[in-house]
């Protein structure tokens, strides 16, 4: 089970905000310092600067691309899944859980039903994690009932404790931290209110102080003296840039609003230790020759800070890709849909057809006999599929 979706989305938004706030600064200057010496520290600084600008642009381009894909998905595909597919999935899963509890179902048939429900739940979780979680807990509760009437009293008590721990773990995994324990115990009926009422604000309130805030990268130097000197330089850069751009100095409303936006970006850069944005804003809006008046010690510290900034940007890119909620298949398909509206309509029609097929399957399951017949048909279809796949491999 994945950790808290709310927490994860919140973390992802923070990263996107950080990168987007930096997008207004100029990314065109590939050289930071004037230097013709390829062996000097100035040359190393310029090389790092160029790599940082490229990585920063790469991150921004990826965010723009994903925002476009997600916009199309949430505008057209997600609502279709919620309207058509989700009710059909919930109806079929609920019916399978009801039949699963019948005593005349054999163990192998129950195993098949569990796998069947698991496959359907994956689709539900993609559409609505909250509903998927509730159905998963309901299915687990049904499994608990079936196993309990097959066990001795001692075995039943041990199994019940195991299920209590399982429910607790599932909920805590979903919300990324501890949640209130219901007095009645951890079963489906007693924790539904937690799933419905436990908010992201409650999570942060309970975990206040347990999540480490990101420390500015300028604090990570080898010696206290070097750290102190570099912080002074960094803060001086911030103050000089802020003084030059202070909105109160402007009488023109348009310029004042522009400077207010730049000041917000500057403050965010200072809070996160984003030395690159600080330098870019300084060069763009202050622009004296201070960057060519470094001592060798200052240049060494700047190299250290830029290396850390580059590493941070690379890690952010990896995390952005990992946090993408859509599969590669969906992203490629959305790209085609953006170019061709017919492709988008085909996808919508497929979702509706899938919902109809699920409803037809649900309608068949009027009795245990019908369920057993459907299982036999599905097993035959699976065997036929695997045989065809093996046959195809032999001649490919």
Burial class (CB in 10 A: 0-12, 13-18, 19+), 377: exposed
For the full predicted model, state whether its pTM sits above 0.85.
no
Angstrom distances, CA of residue 2 to CA of 35, 89, 136, 176: 50, 21, 14, 8
Q: What is the pLDDT along the chain (396 residues), one digit of tens a residue?
A: 444 444 344 445 545 554 444 444 444 456 666 655 566 777 888 888 889 889 989 998 888 888 888 889 999 999 999 999 999 999 999 999 999 888 888 888 888 998 899 999 999 998 998 899 889 888 888 887 777 666 555 555 666 666 667 667 766 666 666 666 655 555 545 555 545 444 444 444 444 444 344 344 444 434 455 556 667 777 877 888 888 777 777 778 888 888 888 888 888 888 887 878 888 787 777 765 556 555 555 677 778 878 888 888 898 888 887 777 677 778 888 889 988 999 999 999 999 999 999 999 999 999 989 999 999 998 888 877 777 766 666 665
**Structure letter (DSSP) for residue 70:** H
Separation CA 120–CA 115 (nearest Å): 9
> Which two three-digit tokens encode residue 337?
């849909």
């Amino acid at each position: 089970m994945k950790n808290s979706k709310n927490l994860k989305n919140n973390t992802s938004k923070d990263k996107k905000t950080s990168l987007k706030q930096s997008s207004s600064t100029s990314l065109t200057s590939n050289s930071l310092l004037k230097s013709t010496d390829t062996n000097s520290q100035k040359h190393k600084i310029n090389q790092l600067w160029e790599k940082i600008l490229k990585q920063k642009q790469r991150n921004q381009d990826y965010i723009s691309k994903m925002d476009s894909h997600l916009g199309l998905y949430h505008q057209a595909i997600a609502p279709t899944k919620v309207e058509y597919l989700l009710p059909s999935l919930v109806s079929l899963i609920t019916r399978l859980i009801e039949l699963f509890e019948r005593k005349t179902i054999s163990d192998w048939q129950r195993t098949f039903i569990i796998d069947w429900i698991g496959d359907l739940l994956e689709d539900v979780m993609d559409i609505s994690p909250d509903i998927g979680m509730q159905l998963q807990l309901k299915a687990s509760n049904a499994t608990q009932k079936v196993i309990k009437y097959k066990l001795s009293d001692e075995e039943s008590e041990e199994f019940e404790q195991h299920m209590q721990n399982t429910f607790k773990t599932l909920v805590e995994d979903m919300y990324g931290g501890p949640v209130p324990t219901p007095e009645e115990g951890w079963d489906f009926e007693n924790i539904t209110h937690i799933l419905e009422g436990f908010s992201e604000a409650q999570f942060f309130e309970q975990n206040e102080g347990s999540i480490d805030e990101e420390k500015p990268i300028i604090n990570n130097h080898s010696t206290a003296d070097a750290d102190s000197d570099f912080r002074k330089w960094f803060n001086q850069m911030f103050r000089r840039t802020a003084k030059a751009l202070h909105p109160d100095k402007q009488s023109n409303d348009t310029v004042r609003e522009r400077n207010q936006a730049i000041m917000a970006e500057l403050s965010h850069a200072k809070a996160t230790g984003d030395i690159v944005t600080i330098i870019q804003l300084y060069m763009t809006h202050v622009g004296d020759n201070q960057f060519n008046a470094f001592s060798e010690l200052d240049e060494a510290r700047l190299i250290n800070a830029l290396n850390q900034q580059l590493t941070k940007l690379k890690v952010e890119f990896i995390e952005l890709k990992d946090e993408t909620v859509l599969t590669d298949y969906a992203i490629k398909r959305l790209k085609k849909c953006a170019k061709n509206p017919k492709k988008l309509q085909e996808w919508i029609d497929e979702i509706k057809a899938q919902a109809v097929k699920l409803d037809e399957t649900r309608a068949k399951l009027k009795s245990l006999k019908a369920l057993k017949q459907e299982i036999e048909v599905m097993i035959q279809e699976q065997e036929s599929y695997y045989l065809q796949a093996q046959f195809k491999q032999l001649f490919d």
